[in-house]
Amino acid sequence: MGMLHDLPDTALSVRQPWAWAIIHADKDIENRSWQAVNHGLRQRGRIAIHAAKGMTKAEYWEAREFIDGLGYTCPGPTALFRGGIIGSVEVVDVVSDSDSPWFFGPRGLVLRDPRPCRFIPAVGALGYFKWQPADYGIVPQPAAWMLPKPPKLTKTIMATQPLPLFEGEG
């Protein structure tokens, strides 16, 4: 598992953390508009999951709240790969209604048998596309909002005398 030759050459790009949820959190529906699904109504079988480069702060927190609410623990934003292939899944149907908690509509690709793989940088596209491995240079750096914030200094402590630099001085 995870070898390049084991991955299908057709991929679907999904924004994080939804792509992570498909591979690691039993997300069995990928929601699409009618127009987006229309081009893939006949597409069945195993596809690669491409984690899109883009992920806004609002998108992340809305998705994380939903994912965590289902009992999964969504990784932090810097732990989510973006800009490449993260695994594969089998598309078995396209539905306009589902009892799955992941279904929002108006259409949903029904997914099963997710398989993670090592991360492979790849340029994404809308809809189904043929992917090619790319250079790691295409992988986006974390946005400022994704990075941990240093603790705020609440007050300055003034020394009454110079502090020693080494233990035993002074």
pTM of the model: 0.83
82 within some domain: yes
**pLDDT tens per residue, the chain (170 residues)?**
445 558 999 999 999 999 999 999 999 999 988 665 556 566 789 999 999 999 999 999 999 999 999 999 999 999 999 999 999 999 999 999 999 999 998 999 999 999 999 999 999 998 889 999 999 999 999 999 999 888 887 777 777 777 677 776 65
Helix-strand-coil split of the chain, %, nearest 5 = 20, 30, 50
Contact 74, 16 (CB under 8 A): no
Is 170 inside any structural domain? no
What is the span of the domain harbouring residue 83?
4-146
Q: What is the DSSP string of 15-41?
A: -TTHHHHHHHS---EEEE-HHHHHTTT
Whether residue 54 lies inside any domain: the answer is yes
HSE (CB half, 13 Å, CA atoms) of 54?
A: 8
In a domain, 165, yes or no: no
For CA atoms 58, 50, 76, 74, the dihedral sign is positive
Residue 29 lies in a domain: yes
Is residue 27 situated within a structural domain?
Answer: yes
Residue 36 lies in a domain: yes
Q: Is residue 116 part of a domain?
A: yes
**Domain at 129, CATH number:** 2.30.130.30
How many domains does the structure of the chain reveal?
A: 1
